């Protein structure tokens, strides 16, 4: 059964598959380029899988210039969101409280110095290096073990649901929820239709923006993507008086544990590099042991390593917490996949490796420019690039 009857209404110019932040950003930029996007989401509502499980933060401290430039563009959109989108219903609630990366190791201090020098050479000269005394003067909750930190005051937090729903609303796209993509029709190496549980949609152009399900979707067209879903968890402590409400994102640069103020309390996270890749999941399980790894001061990844007030939280014992989980869509070099697949007309916008909130608004603009021919060969995130493995900066 056809999903669209051309006699009744026009076909979409672009079918966007996935109703998280990446799909919404894709629809927004497609509309800005004069296209008529159709946004498909298999769940009952937009923004209900990985996007709302995110930390809801953005930064301009990266280890490579390409991602730094990408997120600079996204941050400009964040800071001027209502003006750029032309809608007033959704406000991002921006709080620029900074990102503070702390190290208690000499090797970590030397690594930070090299990184900040590179960031300055890329034009990001507002990243500061602070010695331990200056760190504690500005941020009294930081412990005596910290030798040095890098800090940028302009980094901050936002509401990821408002970002997604605001972009979708501004796109004017037709949105179909409860509509799962079941396959693709390909003729002569080119896309001709998208099959869904609601029927067949004739389409010459579609974008896979399905987060952890992107690889599964692409495989239905015979396209193999180098993506792997990895479970990431966060501890939500909704009411915690010990947390300084004006604190920046505070990161233990030596082990990866980080926290930020949220909900009159905090989000507390750890991106364990040893977490194995798995299959994409509709219901992502949580591990009760995860909270103890971050809250118990005896743990090698405890937040108390650099912020001693977490010891008092543990000793008090009355803090309420819950664990929320999502999946990062990882690529071999932890950078997104943006471009056309080997099936003509089937495009990909995925693999942000935990940086989808801050990377996909600009990444989606790059994708639409590629589709319309507004950009040449300057896309550093194309699918056929050489992947160079990166060990750090996967926060």
pLDDT confidence of residue 388: 82
Same domain, 123 and 268: no
21-38 pLDDT per residue, tens = 999 999 999 999 999 999
Please indicate, yes or no, if residue 240 is contained in any of the structural domains: yes
Same domain, 324 and 234: yes
pLDDT confidence of residue 355: 93
Same domain, 76 and 165: yes
Among 7-11, 90-94, 378-382, which stretch is predicted with the lowest mean pLDDT?
7-11
Where does a domain end: 117, 138, 153? 153
Q: What angle do CA 107, 307, 238 make, to 5 degrees?
A: 130
Same domain, 303 and 171: no
pTM of the full structure: 0.94
Same domain, 290 and 324: yes
Is 394 a residue whose pLDDT tops 60? no
- Across the range 250-263, mean pLDDT stands at 96
| Both tokens assigned to 300 | 């090698």
What range does the domain containing 194 cover?
14-88+160-227+332-372
Structural domains of the chain, count: 3
Where does a domain end: 300, 328, 356? 328
Same domain, 222 and 233: no
Phi, psi of 271 (to 5 degrees): -95, 85
Please indicate, yes or no, if residue 389 is contained in any of the structural domains: no
Please indicate, yes or no, if residue 93 is contained in any of the structural domains: no
Please indicate, yes or no, if residue 169 is contained in any of the structural domains: yes
| Both tokens assigned to 102 | 């702390």
Report which of residues 312 and 8 the model is more confident about. Answer: 312
278-296 pLDDT per residue, tens = 999 999 999 999 999 999 9
Where does a domain end: 328, 358, 385? 328
Please indicate, yes or no, if residue 2 is contained in any of the structural domains: no
Please indicate, yes or no, if residue 381 is contained in any of the structural domains: no
Same domain, 168 and 77: yes
Same domain, 266 and 311: yes
Same domain, 34 and 56: yes
pLDDT confidence of residue 4: 63
Q: Please give the helix or strand (H or E) that residue 327 lies within, else none.
A: strand 322-330
Same domain, 272 and 140: no
Same domain, 180 and 276: no
CATH of the domain at 19: 3.50.50.60
Of 47, 86, 72, nearest in space to 172 by CA: 86
pLDDT confidence of residue 100: 98
Please indicate, yes or no, if residue 318 is contained in any of the structural domains: yes
- Across the range 255-265, mean pLDDT stands at 96
Please indicate, yes or no, if residue 1 is contained in any of the structural domains: no
| Both tokens assigned to 106 | 């000499």
Pair 27, 37: CB distance under 8 Å: yes
Q: Is 232 exposed, middle or buried (0-12, 13-18, 19+ CB in 10 A)?
A: buried
Same domain, 279 and 247: yes
């Amino acid at each position: 059964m056809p999903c669209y009857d051309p006699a009744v209404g026009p076909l979409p110019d672009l079918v966007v598959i996935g109703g998280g932040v990446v799909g919404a950003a894709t629809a927004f930029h497609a509309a800005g380029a004069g296209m008529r996007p159709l946004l498909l989401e298999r769940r009952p509502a937009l923004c209900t899988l990985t996007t709302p499980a995110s930390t809801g933060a953005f930064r301009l401290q990266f280890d490579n210039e390409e991602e730094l430039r990408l997120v600079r563009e996204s941050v400009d959109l964040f800071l001027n969101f209502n003006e750029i989108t032309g809608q007033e219903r959704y406000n991002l609630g921006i709080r620029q409280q900074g990102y503070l990366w702390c190290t208690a190791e000499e090797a970590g201090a030397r690594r930070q110095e090299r990184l900040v020098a590179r960031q300055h050479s890329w034009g990001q000269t507002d990243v500061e290096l602070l010695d331990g005394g200056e760190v504690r003067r500005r941020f009294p909750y930081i412990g005596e073990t910290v030798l040095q930190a890098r800090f940028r005051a302009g980094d901050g937090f936002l509401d990821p649901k408002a970002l997604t729903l605001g972009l979708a609303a501004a796109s004017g796209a037709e949105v179909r929820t409860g509509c799962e993509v079941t396959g693709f029709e390909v003729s002569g190496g080119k896309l001709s239709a998208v099959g869904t549980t609601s029927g067949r949609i004739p389409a010459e152009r579609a974008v896979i923006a399905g987060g952890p399900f992107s690889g599964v979707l692409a495989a239905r067209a015979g396209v193999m993507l180098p993506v792997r879903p990895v479970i990431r968890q966060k501890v939500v402590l909704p009411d915690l008086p010990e947390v300084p409400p004006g604190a920046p994102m505070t990161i233990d640069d030596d082990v990866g544990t980080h926290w930020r103020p949220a909900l009159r309390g905090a989000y507390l996270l750890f991106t364990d590099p040893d977490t194995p890749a798995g299959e994409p999941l509709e219901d992502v399980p949580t591990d009760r042991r995860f909270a103890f790894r971050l809250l118990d001061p005896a743990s090698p990844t405890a937040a108390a390593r650099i912020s001693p007030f977490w010891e008092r939280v543990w000793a008090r014992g009355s803090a309420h917490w819950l664990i929320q989980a999502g999946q990062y869509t990882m690529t071999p070099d932890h950078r997104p996949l943006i471009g056309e697949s080997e099936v003509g007309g089937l495009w990909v916008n995925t693999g942000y490796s935990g940086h989808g909130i801050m990377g996909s608004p600009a990444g989606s603009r790059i994708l639409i420019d590629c589709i319309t021919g507004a950009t040449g060969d300057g896309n550093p995130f194309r699918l056929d690039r050489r992947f160079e493995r990166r060990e750090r900066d996967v926060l």
